[in-house]
Amino acid sequence: MTAKAGGGSTGGGSGVVARRPSRPAPGRLERWLGPFLGEAHTTILGGDRVYLRPPRQSDFEGWADVRTQSRAFLAPWEPTWPEDALTRTAYRRRLAAYGVDWRKDAGYNFFVFGRGDDALLGGIGLANVRRGVVQSASLGYWMGVAHAGQGYMTEGLRAVLAFSYERLHLHRLEAACLPSNMASRRLLAKCGFREEGYARKYLCINGVWQDHVLFGQLAEEWRLAG
């Protein structure tokens, strides 16, 4: 998930032998997972001007509006949009995939809303959650064109970082963005990520395999910065 004011990432193998994913603190995770991304889902993250929660069926119109208005803004930084990208059917498939990831502790997706008017501003997701000896995930995000550059994503990301390290007990987060995406590079640096490398033709963005700058953050770095 990438955006002009954001970046997406993927995780890759590092020669580490994978073990069966282990959940942090047995019983603790389930207490706040809530129902399967339904209307009653109660996981809410907060910032001063924004709050975040998992997507719901009732968010479709707001999501479709923001994505439609922001298509030209987002398309250069995201994988190619399918023809039915903004249909209700595609949105339902998206929610179903989010729900499977959430229940399996494989990924966590949130929409970002403004506190004043409850307007949907963008989205932030954790993907490819890896447990065992890794304890890491990949971070991605997008912001609607009308709301970019106003600090909303900075607040949203900081809330997701707290969620990642305090609730999910992750050790490391990774992110990647196009070298030309200076807004995303500044955002990640502002949130405490370090530039760690350069990957050639790392992701297929807007139909083209493109180089990416790689970023990482450790839980201890986040705690020290806080």
d(CA 137, CA 216): 10
Residues 6+ apart with CB under 8 A from 20: 131, 132
Q: Confirm whether 5 is domain-assigned.
A: no
Average pLDDT over residues 61-88: 96
Q: Confirm whether 2 is domain-assigned.
A: no
Mean pLDDT over each residue of the chain, to the nearest integer: 86
Q: Has residue 112 got a pLDDT over 60?
A: yes
Q: Confirm whether 57 is domain-assigned.
A: yes
User: 185 lies in which domain range?
Assistant: 28-225
Domain count, the chain: 1
Q: Has residue 93 got a pLDDT over 50?
A: yes
We report the CATH number of the domain holding residue 109 as 3.40.630.30
The DSSP letter of residue 84 is T
Q: Confirm whether 22 is domain-assigned.
A: no
State pLDDT tens for residues 177-225: 999 999 999 999 999 999 999 999 999 999 999 999 999 999 999 999 8
SS3 149: coil
Q: What is the pLDDT of residue 79?
A: 94
A 10 A CB-CB count for 62 gives 16
Q: Confirm whether 49 is domain-assigned.
A: yes
